[in-house]
Amino acid sequence: MKIGIIGAGNIGATLARKLSNQGHAVKLANSRGPDTIMDLAQEVGAIAVERQEAVNDVDVIILSTPFDKHAELAALLTGVPENVVVIDTSNYYPFRDGDIADINNGKPESVFASEVLKRPLIKAWNAVLAATLAEKGVADGSESRFAIPVAGDSASAKAVTLALVNQTGFDAVDAGPLNESWRQQPGTPAYCTELKTDELNLALQAADKARAPLNRDVLINEFMAAGDQLTHDVIIARNRAVTA
């Protein structure tokens, strides 16, 4: 497939590498222009392009930018055909993205993002740490394989996304419609806890919508205070402990 990725940070660049390794034609863009990511794109097997080019003549668009960038991306998607799958990997953190009343009052983050973008979205790769995505993907059928949740309303778009998640080295779990995507957002047991398929299904069901933002804020404050002592294993352990 032809895939455009907007966002060349840890998640976007890792997805570009993994998907290009699977034979997909990947275009990679950021907010500063292709000259700033030319070497990175070559390293991961993608083509560095302007953001507008990343959404032209593709089958799938992956948005891997901070949550507060959706408004500026909306215009890019205006002319994109309806059959193009749009996948969002972002998460809402008020300290970074500003307080958004609709989300604070209970609207699922991905539903809000879909309304801003004026596009149906599939939510995927948001509930995995960058190091997990880069280093812990394994072959299909491996007993050590972790799972990643995928939420969305379109059966066909979700099927495409589930297949792509599998190709990045993780079991893909159908997490339901977009209005249930809060179950895989920060502060829930499914978020960045490195679970296998059965465990992830249980975690999605155990999610507490009222408690999730409280957990999110406790954890992010703890992580920011930890400084150099914060490690990948510590993040996973604390996410599991606080959200259990």
Q: What is the pLDDT of residues 166-198, one digit of tens each?
A: 999 999 999 999 999 999 999 999 999 999 999
Give residue 243's pLDDT band: very low, low, confident or very high (50, 70, 90): very high
Residues comprising the chain, all counted: 244
Instruction: Name the phi and psi angles at 17, rounded to 5.
Output: -65, -50
- Model pLDDT for residues 48-93, shown as the tens digit of each residue: 999 999 999 999 999 999 999 999 999 999 999 999 999 999 999 9
Cβ atoms of residues 97 and 113 within 8 Å? no
**For all residues of the chain together, what is the average pLDDT?**
97
User: 3-state SS of 53-111?
Assistant: HHCCCCCEEEECCCHHHHHHHHHHHCCCCCCCEEEECCCCCHHHHCCCHHHHCCCCHHH
Give the pLDDT confidence score for residue 227 in this predicted structure. Answer: 86
Give CA–CA dist 165/93, Å, rounded.
24
Q: Are the beta carbons of 170 and 137 closer than 8 angstroms?
A: yes
Using the predicted structure, report yes or no on whether residue 2 has a pLDDT greater than 90: yes
Q: With a cut of 90, say whether residue 228 has pLDDT above it.
A: no
pLDDT at 185: 97
Burial of 77 (0-12, 13-18, 19+ CB in 10 A): middle
Cα–Cα distance for residue pair 242/7, rounded to 1 Å: 30
Token pair for residue 79?
A: 């002319």
Q: Which amino acid is at 151?
A: A
Question: Can you give the pLDDT at residue 91?
Answer: 98
Domains for the chain: give ranges and CATH numbers.
66-243 (3.40.50.720)
Q: Read off the pLDDT band of 218 (50, 70, 90).
A: very high
C-alpha to C-alpha distance for 72 and 66, rounded to whole angstroms: 11
Cα distance between residue 170 and residue 144, in whole Å: 10
In whole angstroms, give the CA distance from residue 89 to residue 66. 9
Q: Judge whether 182 and 109 are in contact, CB under 8 Å.
A: yes
Exposure letters 193-209 (e unless 16+ CB within 10 A, then b): bbbeeeebbebbeebee
